[in-house]
Structure 1
Amino acid sequence: MSRLRLLPLLLLAACASRAPEPPPASFRDTGQPIWSNAVFEPARIAGEWREVAAFAPPGACRPGGASIQPAAGGLEIRGRLCLGGRETALAGPLDVTGPGRLLPAGGTEPWWVLWVDTDYRTLAIGTPSGRFGFVLNRGGPLPPDRLTAAREILEWNGYDLGRLALF
């Protein structure tokens, strides 16, 4: 094939859009310890929550939200959250599996409540694998002091704050 015929093909290949990069396998250093909140009271998280931050590549998700309500077996969750750079729909039981540990219906990985403020207005949630982590808030905008506290606890549990997207 002559060079003149090959040139348009090379130009076309160079202009082709790339597939988006897959999210990283982990947003935290899994060599660091991680702790769930041992004094967490699951019944106090009932209500409406807005996702204010999540570990995700830039622009990967829109901010989500969830409604957590009491149910016969404990808690139920409905909503959509950005988990590891993917918008994820949630609907069904939210099981309490240990102190500060939750498992949503169909979930394969437990959510660990890493921090909650004393009035249960802001939650920082992560996973031992670091596959995702996020911050939920209710009652209006997230004040800077609670954002700082959530960031500090996420970092203390090995999360890379440079990959935390604020919504």
Structure 2
Amino acid sequence: MIPVRDASQPVASQVDADAARLEGNWRVVEGAGVVPGMAVEIGPESFSVAGVAQSLVSEGRGRFRVGGRALWVHWLDADARTAALGDPEGGWWMILDREGRPGERLAAARTILDWYGYQRPGA
């Protein structure tokens, strides 16, 4: 695995991003290790990408494990419409949106990912 995050940059999760706020259907807008447009469904204890479900375990404070891998919520807008998620070890990242059209929220998600050292093509 080639890291997609500069480990020298600080990284944090959004403490109020719990499973209840994430629950529902999403679309991948951008990402590394995922394909844009893919469907994502988050349940109380499951995380499904393109119909492949894995367990979702909350570790509190915006931090989860999906199939044993770290998933941190780096940013979730106030209305839980757009989210920037990633692996703090640098394995992958993704921007999700409920409708697949985040509008101005896309810039905010990109800014957070840039701040935490995630590498985006063309950034």
Q: TM-score range by the shorter chain?
A: 0.7 to 0.9
1:88-107 alignment, distance < 5 Å: 90-104=52-66, 106-107=67-68
Residue 110 of structure 2 corresponds to which residue in structure 1? 151
- In structure 2, the gaps of 5 or more residues are none
1:62-101 alignment, distance < 5 Å: 63-70=37-44, 75-80=45-50, 90-101=52-63
Contact 1:55 1:163 in 2 (8 A): no
Q: Deviations over 1:14-40 (max 9, x none)?
A: xxxxxxxxxx61111111111011122
Q: Note closer, same or farther for the CA distance 1:160–1:77 as it changes in structure 2 (3 Å cut).
A: closer
- In structure 1, the gaps of 5 or more residues are 1-23, 81-88
| Structure 1 counterpart of 2:8, one-letter code | G
Runs of 4+ in 1 over 4 A off after TM superposition: none
Contact 1:126 1:134 in 2 (8 A): yes
Instruction: Report the number of matched residues.
Output: 123
- Between structures 1 and 2, the one with greater helix share: 1
Within 2, Cα distance between the matches of 1:155 and 1:54?
13
Alignment TM-score, normalising by the size of structure 2: 0.87
Contact 1:27 1:163 in 2 (8 A): no
- Pairwise CA distance, 1:163: 5.7
Within 1, Cα distance between the matches of 2:80 and 2:119?
24
Within 2, Cα distance between the matches of 1:42 and 1:61?
23
Q: Note closer, same or farther for the CA distance 1:62–1:156 as it changes in structure 2 (3 Å cut).
A: closer
RMSD, matched Cα: 2.1
Percent of aligned pairs sharing the same letter? 36
Contact 1:67 1:78 in 2 (8 A): yes
- Pairwise CA distance, 1:41: 2.7
Q: Note closer, same or farther for the CA distance 1:163–1:54 as it changes in structure 2 (3 Å cut).
A: farther
The equivalent position to 1:51 in structure 2, one of 28, 31, 43, is 28
The equivalent position to 2:73 in structure 1, one of 97, 113, 125, is 113
Within 2, Cα distance between the matches of 1:131 and 1:140?
23
Alignment TM-score, normalising by the size of structure 1: 0.66
| Structure 2 counterpart of 1:38, one-letter code | V
1:112-151 alignment, distance < 5 Å: 112-143=72-103, 145-151=104-110
| Structure 2 counterpart of 1:76, one-letter code | S
- Structure with more contact order per residue of length (Cα contacts < 8 Å, sep ≥ 6): 2
- Pairwise CA distance, 1:98: 2.5
Q: Note closer, same or farther for the CA distance 1:101–1:163 as it changes in structure 2 (3 Å cut).
A: farther
Structure number with greater Rg is 1
